[in-house]
A and B are shown apart, each in its own frame.
Chain A
């Protein structure tokens, strides 16, 4: 009962934030908040694959692209018909219901791609897996470039602006909660065992195939959700936004945060979203923005290679009002 009340309370809070935050905070900061949250979802989902399960995946931008484009195709081509079908609901609810469908559609298509990418992981290790995932991401991008119906090389414009603060905040929270609880469950233990020593895990009876593919599928699903939010926020999707450079940017986020640390991924995603924007304010040195960014990256790796938080996770369980940690007798 208490749990239900807490959830309802959070739900209401998010609705209030959606309504009132833009009036209290400048729209530029709302914009930064939106971008940060999208990157948080991307980083946390990638962390599940790379950090927790130890699978070297360099193609996350591909999942994001699939999610974004498939959800946009849904809302652009089928959206108007669906909204008409729901005209017994008030407009706001109909719109958001369609968006929910788009989110699920985007996430699921990305998850299917995750399944396809997870399969080679069975035979490939380490660097070979890395290059195959990189390749998958690039194949997705080039395929998109060639399909005129979704804008092709000139981009998919005219996507309806369904992303609102409500969705951003609730989906970010949902992603963090889902990945955290997955990591802290027996599934999570299995993921960690695959990361630590795959052969030993297999010998202990863990179906490493199942867990590796699951990591890819779940990670891909959330990346697809992020892609959907991205597309419906910018109202535009362009293949240039989904190159391997984008995949690298997300990898950088999870490394800087500390591989394996969900908390670290969140913090690093926020910092690395805000940093290039902050560098715009450097006045005369503005042109050197990207050079400074790359130098900072190299210096960070040389001085603190384990990232900001290493694999440390804060123990939030002590604050969760329902399950007290069991005393060891």
Chain B
């Protein structure tokens, strides 16, 4: 039982990370119907921005709680900026083009960030400084809960609640929902859809950046290719929950994180990466638009 709880704690930890990244995917898809393959690499950039920032401001040498939040905030802001730049430079000119074209561009941006990262940051793994000292919250013979997984969960939930607030209770959030529903009608209603789209990228990228910092805290080895697989799995999580659906992304992320860890722990650790996809295939066969996705009737 205790071992099960241990695996569960781990799974929820990863679930929160996948959820954070999946939110970005799902929001961008909602407004643009674009699978932004470069999103996983923004997650990687978040970790690296945090790495350089904390070392530059000497926070790494003297970690404090304020220092951690400063790093988190900086990484989120920097990633938000990167997100907007990518959107303006690579995706906006292709708004009127078929979806496949923008998809290829997204793949190109992803490759650029990965290979560029290897050249600029160096391909060797770097060690992310311990900004929050690890401590044991609960300790027994078979179950140890340290503060880091709890921190990840709390920060993720806080960010998700913040996102929900923005989307549901603010004007810009309403504009986002309108644009996602029907872009043309929204712009006819006087909404500056270009700005709304940029804002969506800003939010999504900021969340991915936060995910990067949280992962780097717990698994302090960072390298330019670290966003590849988590990005893909987060995308699977978003589709699992119903792409375009914000609560769906969170649900999908959690389900993915927990099932992955359980399979790795109880069946075979080397099958871990396949679980995400196997789960996806099974669920999509039963619910073709994802768990919380709505069945949009096709108009002839």
Contact = CB atoms under 8 A, between A and B. Distances in A.
Interface of A: 56, 120, 123-124, 127-128, 130-132, 134-136, 138-139, 142-143, 145-146, 153, 199-200, 244, 248, 251-252, 255, 259, 287-288, 290-291, 293-295, 297-298, 301-302, 305
A294 B270 contact: no
A302 B93 contact: yes
B273 A294 contact: no
Given A135-B236, A138-B273, A142-B274, A294 B298 contact: no
Contact of A123 (B94, B104, B270, B285): B285
B23 to A, nearest CB: 17
Q: Is the interface of A mostly helix, strand, loop or mixed?
A: helix
Contacts of B108: 294-295, 297-298, 301
Interface string B261-300: 0000000101101101110110011001110000000101
Contact of B94 (A259, A294, A297, A302): A302
Contacts of B273: 138, 142
Given A255-B101, A301-B104, A302-B90, A295 B112 contact: yes
Contact of A135 (B102, B104, B116, B277): B277
Nearest to B105: A301
Nearest to B90: A298
A288 B119 contact: yes
B103 to A, nearest CB: 8
Given A252-B104, A298-B109, A305-B94, 12 more contacts: A120-B281, A123-B288, A132-B280, A138-B232, A139-B274, A139-B281, A146-B271, A153-B270, A244-B232, A248-B107, A294-B115, A302-B105
B68 interface: no
B93 A294 contact: no
A258 B289 CA distance: 30
Interface in B81-102: 90, 93-94, 97-98, 100-102
Contact of B270 (A120, A146, A287): A146
B243 interface: yes
Contacts of B271: 142, 146
A138 B108 CA distance: 20
